[in-house]
Amino acid sequence: MAYYQKLGEIPRKHHIWFHRNGATPTYKNEGIAYEHVFTTQGFDEAYSIMYHLRPPTRVRNVKLLKCEELKKVADSPLRHHHLKTADIPRRGDLYTGRVPMLFNQDMTAYRAKPAKTYDKFEYYKNGGADEIIFVFHGGGVVESVFGSLPYRAEDYIVIPRGITYRIVPNKVEEED
């Protein structure tokens, strides 16, 4: 069964020309909103229809972040490990400072303790996997096409693959 959530102004039907009469200027002052249908599993599953003031296809710059080579260790009997992740030094930002801790064919667990924030125009998109982020310390705001969502210590942040977002910490030196 479909369920709908309306945020803001939307047209009476999907996939039609949507003229905006609002005071907010649109791209080239055309007065229309640009439709963006977002889904991670095709149209048999949940999807979102979003309307933008500017075409969502306009991107200033794309940069591939360096992926660290993950090396599998030899199989051995299972035993407990204490990873001591609190001892990881601060480095990079919330994306470039990630340190891979554990992985298998389905997922990779990273730990990040950022040393700096990033440019206000930098956003991140993971096109290959969903992201689940646990915040040990700190707080701030997650900004995405769905709006701004505040977070605090001990929150889980779930970001579906393909969502363009950025995390803006209140104080980067406390973020963990």
Q: What is the CATH number of the domain that holds 124?
A: 2.60.120.10
pLDDT of residue 60: 77
Per residue of the chain (176 residues), give pLDDT as tens.
Answer: 567 777 777 787 777 777 766 656 666 777 777 888 887 777 777 788 888 777 777 777 787 777 777 888 888 888 888 888 888 899 888 888 888 888 888 888 999 888 888 777 788 888 888 999 999 988 999 999 888 999 999 999 999 988 889 999 888 777 76
What's the confidence (pLDDT) of residue 55?
A: 79
34/91 same-domain check: no
What pLDDT is recorded for position 83? 86
For residues 37 and 89, membership in a common domain is answered with no
pLDDT of residue 26: 67
pTM of the predicted model, to two decimals? Answer: 0.75
Q: Which domain holds residue 135?
A: 85-174
Residue 153: per-residue pLDDT: 93
Domains held by the chain: number: 2
Tell me, yes or no, whether 97 lies in a domain. yes
Written as six digits, the tokens of 102 are 């554990």
The two structure tokens encoding residue 96: 């470039």
Please tell me whether residues 41 and 104 are part of one structural domain. no
74 part of a folded domain: no
Within-domain flag for 144: yes
Would 108 be classed as within a structural domain?
yes
| Residue 39: inside a domain | yes
Give a yes or no: residue 138 inside a domain: yes
Q: Say what the pLDDT of residue 66 is.
A: 72
User: Does 33 map to a domain?
Assistant: yes
- Residues β-bridged to residue 77: none
Residue type, position 14, single letter:
H
Q: Is residue 65 part of a domain?
A: no
The single residue listed with the structure tokens 């609002």 is 22
Residue 92 near residue 122, CB atoms below 8 Å? no
100, 50: one domain: no
